[in-house]
Structures are given as C-alpha cells and as structure tokens.
Structure 1
Amino acid sequence: MLFEVSGVTVPFWLPPLVAFVISFFTSMVGISGAFLLLPFQMSVLGYVAPSVSATNLVFNLVAIPAGVWRYAREGRMDWRLAWTIAAGTLPGLLAGWWLRVHWLADPRAFKFFAGLVLAVLALKLLRDARGQSRDPAGTAAAADFRARPVFLLALAIGVIGGAYGVGGGAFMAPFLVASLGMSLHGIAGATLFGTLVTSVAGVALYQFLPAPPGIETRPDWALGILFGFGGAAGMYVGAMTQKRVSQRALKLGLACILALLALLYVTQFFAR
C-alpha cells in the first residue's frame, strides 16, 4: 500500500500491528507510544521528512482517547493534573515546531536530537525503576501534586515534544515519577490526556503554518490514522491491564529499549 504524502509503501496490516504492540506496553506507564513509532517510521519505513513528526501527532489523536476513556472509567484519572500538564505543554509547541522545521530538518541532525531525548528518558526510567516496589498493584494518586513545578516542567518539555512529534505530554511520565516522586498508577491517565490535548494543537501547527520552500510539514493523514487504529486497541487493553503488571519490570524494559535507540541514533550521526 502506497501512502502518497510520505512516499511510504508498506503492507496494510503492518502499521496497526506495530502500533498495537507498542501502545499496549507504553500506555501502562502513561506514554502514547509515538516516541517509539518515530524511529520505526524513520529507520524501517524510511520516512524522514519533517512531516513524520506531524504524522506521529495524528496517531496520538486517534489512539489516545481509548486509553484515556479506560482510565477515567476505572476512576484512575487525575483531571487537575491532566489540565495542568496540557496548559504547560501547549505554549511550547510553537517553539518546538519552529525548531523542527528550521533547525532539525536534516534527518541526521534530527536523529541526533532524537537520540539525546531518548537517552534522557532512559536514564529517568532506570533511576525510578531501581527504587520501584515490585508490587504490581500500587495505586497511589497524584492528587497532592504541586501545580507550579508541574506546569514549569510541562512548559519546558512542550518545546521538546513539539519538535519530536509526540505532543510533549509523552515525556511527562518519566520526569514526574523520577523528579517529583509521583506514582505511575496515579499519573498515567493524566499524562496521556495532556498528550492528547497538545497533539491537537501540534497537528494544527504542522498542517497550517507556512514552512520553508521545499520542506513538507503536513502530516500523512492516512498513515497516521492507520497507526492510530492499532494504537487505540493497544492503549485500551494496556490501560485495562496496567494494575496486573509490575510497573518496575515495564519501566526497566522501556529504559533498555530507549537506551538502544539513543545509541543507534547518536552513532548514526557521527558515522559520516
């Protein structure tokens, strides 16, 4: 199947299958999975144009509501935290979009940038997992969080998220857990919601704001939606399963994946 905007040719079943597997695991720790879809699109599908970031955001629009709905249905959604994250990350999206289009359009430079971000996430996850209880059923809430530090953190992460194509909120979970001591069981739904809200604005930026001549920033809607269908199923099942799986094991696994991807991207940057 050919996707005209991205120029990608791929079997119809592959994008939703990949998105399902990724989202099943990442939704348990409050992450949409878009940050892992990005290297898949760039390295496996060969989709390296700036519009790949926008396509990632389309995936978020389609996939995340299923996970958010499941967390809310089970009473595990902290709405105050969710809106604080959204309010902080939104202003950073414009700066992130400009950074991606004007400074990170070169695929090699973008991969190096992505590698650094992935390395930071890996370190945060490893730090948290090292002291994480093995009890898979912890349910500590985030209702006692301090709004100002969360807002400022979200503001800074919004710039990175806007450039990386994951809406900003996807980076919040590792930082909230490792830096502010919050529980993954209490923040997972809120960070997914924050990612959803900021992804709406991010898609609009990439779709409608002018880009330099010769640079395509508009998303490949067909590819993004196809990824989103698989992601929606994965997020719903992942959110439903979260309480039965050890978060310590999940974070360790994700940290290892992030570290390997970070090493791959950084070494590719210096290979030439």
Structure 2
Amino acid sequence: MEVGIEVLILLPFVSFLVAFFTAPAGVSGAFLLLPFQVSVLGFTSPSVSATNLVYNLIAIPSGVYRYIREGRMAWPIASLTILATLPGVFIGAVIRANYFLDPRVFKFFVGLVLLYLGLRVLISALRPSEKIKELEKKFKERIEMMKKRGLPEEAVVRTRKVSLSRIEYEFWGEIFSFNVPSLFLVSFAIGIIGGIYGIGGGAILSPILASIFGLPTYTIAGATLLGTFLTSVFGIASYYAINYPPNWAIGISLGIGGFFGMYFGARFQKYLPERTIRFCLSAVIFVTAINYILQFFL
C-alpha cells in the first residue's frame, strides 16, 4: 500500500497522542492505531497487522527505558508473559491470514476484543481490590509531594519469591502475587489474539493483569510494554513467513511519534492515580469497540 508524503508527515502527530495517553496503562496504543489505519488509510489487508507491529518495534523502547530507570519494571511478569505469548503470536498470524481476510469480519472481531477489554478495565476501576485501595490512599496522602516529585523513592518493584507455582513481589509496602500456570495459559491465549490483531498482546494483557490478577498498573506497565516489544519482533517475522510483510513507511512514521509519546507518557504515569488511568483507558476502548461492532451490522 502506497501513501502520500503529506500523510506520512502527519502520522507521527497521531501516534504521539495515542502513545502518550496509553503508555501509563502499559499499552503501546497499537490497538487504536490499527482501527485508524483500517478506517482512515483504507489499509485492510493482513499486512496492516504486521505494520502495526512495526510501530511497536519503534515506539516501545523509550517507554520501557523510563520504567526500568524508575524501578517500576516487574521482571518476573515480563519474562513469563514473553515466554508464553511468543508461540501464540505465530498461531495468530496464521489465523489472521486464513480466516480474517474480510475487513468487516476483522472489524467485528476487533470490536468484540476491545469491548471485553473495556468492560474488564472499567470493572477494575469501579471495584478496586483492597491492596489497590491502599495504594490509592497512599497516593492521596502524598498528593502534594506527587505534584513536585512523583512517586516516592520506595515505590519500586522488588521481587520477593519466584517458583514454578507462584511469583510474589513488593511495591510501596504492599505484597502482590499471582499463579504462574494461570498467567502462562492466559498469556498464550493473548498471544494468539494479539497475533491476529497485530498488537503484540500488551493491550489485552494489561487490563487482565490489573482486573483479574489484581496487580497495580504502576507495576505491570513496564512488563507488558517489554513483552509487547519482543512479541512484535516475532510477529513481524511471522507475517513475513506467510507472505504478508509490513508497510515500513507507515510503520516507521507511526513509530516515530509513538517513540516520543511513549517516553513522556511513561514518565507522566507516576503523577496519575491508579483509577484515573483505568477510567481513561476504558473510555477510549469503549468508543473504538462500539464503533467497530456497529459497522459490522450497518
């Protein structure tokens, strides 16, 4: 697919805004840029999914850097989810190329996935766990300091226990843990969906970790972004293998804006309350999901 130079110049501005507002939730924004490419650019072949992964490849490293530098990278989560999603991404790419060639069917699938994500994020924001409430309480108590300095120095991720059955870590005085086999299976399924959609899986994994597993967004954002980056590399190779290579011009143009949006969005995260991040993310997801589902029936 060829696009004019004027369009390529405008694409970084679009991706910057998307990345800036999604990076605090540990999401690259690719799940919003794919509908943009389909609806605005008219890019509907399976190669659009591969192009979306190119955006991830360029945009994500800056956000990952910020989370590592500020001590909010949960390495056990990142390692486990990457290991599980990689094979799923390849399976998803094959399914996309063989069963989702009709743009209407693909849009409907995208809409359903986004609708589910939006519901999970909204529920987690309306009914936070006790540990999330405690983090919110600490956030409010330090709000004046937050305005000046952000999260305190002790608000970093510290791994406490790693085993084949359970992983446990500490963040800001609270202990969080999750079941390893459960997260592995969920991540594998997410890899398949992410491979079909062309998002690397982070947009699906982040709300699930926050809502179903009850983990704070502050601690999962860096891990899901890192996982999305590595699975995107594998996903691009998978699309090449099935003869649907990405459009590098579009992917790079979007990636340039996303690189800067991701960096500043990740840096800005520490100034936002946990539930504010979730409410904003769910609103954006709902608008996109409803639009795509309606297009299938109209």
- Output the TM-score relative to the length of structure 1: 0.91
- 239-248 vs 84-93, which deviates more? 239-248
Per-residue CA deviations over 1:110-168 (Å, capped at 9, x if unaligned) read 00000001101100110111134454759585723332221111011111000000012
Q: How far off its partner does 1:44 sit?
A: 1.4
Q: How far off its partner does 1:7 sit?
A: 2.8
Equivalents in 2 of 1:18, 1:46: separation in Å? Answer: 16
CA RMSD of aligned residues (A): 1.7
Which runs of 5 or more structure 2 residues have no equivalent in the other structure?
Answer: 141-150, 158-167, 170-176
Which runs of 5 or more structure 1 residues have no equivalent in the other structure?
Answer: 1-5, 211-216
Per-residue CA deviations over 1:229-262 (Å, capped at 9, x if unaligned) read 1101011111111110123223212212211211
C-alpha contact 1:29 1:247 (8 A) present in aligned 2: no
Of the three residues 182, 199, 217, the one matched with 2:232 is 199
The one-letter amino acid paired with 2:21 is: F
Equivalents in 1 of 2:17, 2:202: separation in Å? Answer: 20
**Number of the residue aligned with 2:293:** 266
The one-letter amino acid paired with 2:197 is: Y
Equivalents in 1 of 2:233, 2:287: separation in Å? Answer: 30
Of the three residues 253, 257, 266, the one matched with 2:284 is 257
What does 1:50-199 align with in structure 2 at a 5 Å threshold? 50-132=46-128, 133=133, 134=136, 135=139, 139=155, 141=157, 143=169, 144-199=177-232
- Output the TM-score relative to the length of structure 2: 0.83
Equivalents in 1 of 2:127, 2:236: separation in Å? Answer: 37
Q: How far off its partner does 1:12 sit?
A: 3.4
Look up the SS of the partner of 1:123 in the other structure.
helix
C-alpha contact 2:63 2:263 (8 A) present in aligned 1: yes
Of the three residues 262, 269, 273, the one matched with 1:246 is 273
Equivalents in 1 of 2:45, 2:274: separation in Å? Answer: 35
- 51-60 vs 245-254, which deviates more? 245-254
Matched, 1:225 2:252: yes
C-alpha contact 1:154 1:169 (8 A) present in aligned 2: no
Equivalents in 1 of 2:122, 2:75: separation in Å? Answer: 27
**Number of the residue aligned with 1:19:** 15
**Number of the residue aligned with 2:147:** none
Look up the SS of the partner of 2:178 in the other structure.
coil
Higher alpha-carbon Rg? 2
Give the aligned length. Answer: 260
C-alpha contact 1:30 1:192 (8 A) present in aligned 2: yes
**Number of the residue aligned with 1:8:** 3
